[in-house]
Copies of this chain bind each other. A is one copy, B any other.
Amino acid sequence: MSAGPLAEAMQRIARDMDSAFDGLLPVPTDARARLVEAMRYATIGGGKRIRPLLLIATSEIYGVDHTSAIYAAVAIESIHAYSLIHDDLPCMDNDAMRHGKPTVHKAFDEATAVLAGDALHAFAFELLADQATSGDPFTRAELVRTLGNASGLSGMAGGQMMDIVAESESFDLPTITRLQQLKTGALLGAAVEMGAILGRVGPEGRTQLRGYARDIGLAFQIADDLLDHDGDESAAGKALRKDAAAGKQTFVSLLGPDRAREQARMLVDQAISHLAGHGAEANLLRAVARFIVERNH
């Protein structure tokens, strides 16, 4: 697949996400307006939409109804958005810029940022569990279980705790790999897994997709570390080189940039090899894997 179809898919999905968030989060006329403005600010018009892309690309292999896939994609993107809002807080990473604009606690205030994250968190699960959006009850319960597992203690939140501890302790490569698998890999994996749940994929297909997701998850993090190491702040839309400044171990600091780059490329090849059982219908997932290491932000 050339860059064309991937770029087209990314534009289409970005449009669909913006329009879904816009429709699902109307601003109320009471004092909750400020909360919804913050939720909209954090979800509409920004971000690469990698998780929706993975979820939708997977679901399209299996001919899943587009509306169900969009709702599930909104749910996982809401979780991602809440995690960025909380991550950017002064007591966490203390970041002032995100996606080229002020972070939520800068544009609003800290209390609103905490609450907007919490409300997006609840919104994700409410949306997945809603009969109107995600089909039969078994599918809904499975989507919730998968997203809950990937975002909590056994996934993203657990990885973020390890990341905080990594500022004061020196971790080895296996521990950094585990940290990143939880912090970033689990949610990327959930995106693919949720597409597979919607597509009612059997155990063997699920195992292959899980292999794909694990490999691109790690490749994604190595690429992030490389971008943090030698990327451009204006393209990234956020502050870079904070890990090095904090003395935190990353794939780049542990492997060096050349071996890290080689490792990321190898993981992408390996990820694509997990899709060998599929034909052209998996080309978008293949293109996403390549994009993950070739992107410049």
Contact = CB atoms under 8 A, between A and B. Distances in A.
Nearest to A146: B129
Contacts of A31: 161-162, 165-166, 169, 171, 175, 179
A256 interface: no
A112 B153 CA distance: 12
Given A86-B114, A121-B122, A157-B119, A165 B34 contact: yes
A242 interface: no
A149 interface: yes
A141 interface: yes
A117 B92 CA distance: 14
Contact of A119 (B122, B158, B165): B158
A82 B153 CA distance: 13
Contacts of A110: 91
Contacts of A119: 152-153, 157-158, 161
A148 B123 CA distance: 7
Interface string A77-121: 000001100100101100000000000000001111011011101
Contacts of A136: 137
Nearest to A142: B129
Contact of A89 (B114, B122, B142): B114
Nearest to A169: B31
A140 interface: yes
A114 B115 contact: no
A36 interface: yes
A35 to B, nearest CB: 4
A111 B129 CA distance: 30
26 contacts: A30-B162, A30-B175, A30-B178, A31-B165, A32-B153, A35-B157, A39-B153, A82-B118, A111-B164, A112-B161, A115-B157, A115-B161, A118-B121, A118-B157, A119-B152, A121-B121, A121-B122, A122-B153, A123-B148, A123-B152, A125-B144, A126-B149, A129-B145, A131-B141, A131-B145, A137-B138
